[in-house]
Amino acid sequence: MNQKAPDENLYVEQIIELPFTESAGKYISIFLTKIRDEGKIVANKCPVCHRIVLPPRIVCAYCKVEIEDKPENWVELSDKGTVTDCMGIDDREVDAITGEFVGTPNPILFIRLDGGDEWTILGHIAKEMDASKYPPGARVQAVWKPQKERQGKTSDIQFFQLIKE
Amino acid sequence: MGTVKPIIHSRTRRWKYTRYAGHTGSRFLIELRDNKRIMGTKCPVCHRVYVPARSFCYVCFKSMDEWVEVSNEGTLTAFTMVYQSEPSYPVKTPFAYGIIKVDGADTGFAHIIGEVNPKDLWIGMRVQAVFKDKRVGSILDIDHFKPI
């Protein structure tokens, strides 16, 4: 590089856009449609080990058997549950390109929904920012978005909030 | 649970960034902006003239210090029509897009071809650069190439 420096340094602006579309798949589509249209959380039940599989899957990960699409293989879970663990967000992920924060700063709850078994854990965000308010064993309930705003995503549940029982 | 309509989610990943054009790239763009000249660099070993200007010859790996002015006219060596629109495109679709080898250069570069019916395009066609009135120091200071 023995080029002389130019009189002025110029910069080039560029934009890259990658639009993409993905299908949620057969069972996840059922799961998300139930959330969107009925405000219900559904799960699979393995016909061999009777484990409750959440989110629903076509094959049980433990028994490697197909969970067929029969009414007896589907179970409906409550939107109330028990906190098994809570993860406070200390350092938020930053997008390396835009410098913006990714996601929300709310603590993440791992919730065992009523009607499920020890394997049924749903991860979702908590209402309040203070993670110490959600000790293991705390009872929480889902707060749903209004029917019109639901889009068929797990974010149709706004967050989980504490309830007294 | 019966059949449901499959759920499909669409998302767009978008990266917008600014990069330094480099010593050579800056000089090339300044010449375009201020003097409406297309400049190239010449390799001292193989005498190839690179347009747009590069700092080194990728065949001989030699630094190139010699700047040469090349013509605003050139020959179309390849072309295509663009119909699919993307937000990052500088012009509306459909437009013709081709590789132009300007007179005096040994390499071609891609640019928009305007003021032409797509059916009249052919390889070997003579084209001329049309500069914008308001130039900002970008390869798009050449608005398009038009047939002569």
pLDDT digits (tens, 9 = 90+) for B16-65: 888 998 889 999 999 999 999 999 999 999 999 999 999 999 999 989 98
Between chains, do B21 and A4 touch, taking CB under 8 Å as contact? no
Q: Which residues from chain B sit within 8 angstroms of residue A13, using beta carbons?
A: 16-18
Between chains, do A17 and B12 touch, taking CB under 8 Å as contact? yes
Q: Which residues contact B1 (CB under 8 A, 6 or more apart)?
A: A30, A42, A69, A71, A74
Q: Is B6 a domain residue? A: no
Q: A122 or B87: whose pLDDT is higher?
A: A122
pTM above 0.80, yes or no: no
pLDDT digits (tens, 9 = 90+) for B53-95: 999 999 999 899 899 999 999 999 999 999 988 877 888 889 9
Closest by CA to B114, choosing from B104, B129, B101, is B129
Q: Which residue of A has its CA nearest to B1?
A: A71
**Domain assignment of residue B44, given as a range:** 22-147
Q: Which residue of A has its CA nearest to B88?
A: A15
Q: Which residue has the tokens 């020959």?
A: B75
Q: Which residue of A has its CA nearest to B85?
A: A17
Where do runs of H (alpha helix) occur along A39-158?
none
For chain A, the domains span: 26-162
Between chains, do B30 and A7 touch, taking CB under 8 Å as contact? yes
Q: Which residues contact A147 (CB under 8 A, 6 or more apart)?
A: A39
Q: Which of A6, A28, A29 sits opposite B27 (nearest CB)?
A: A6
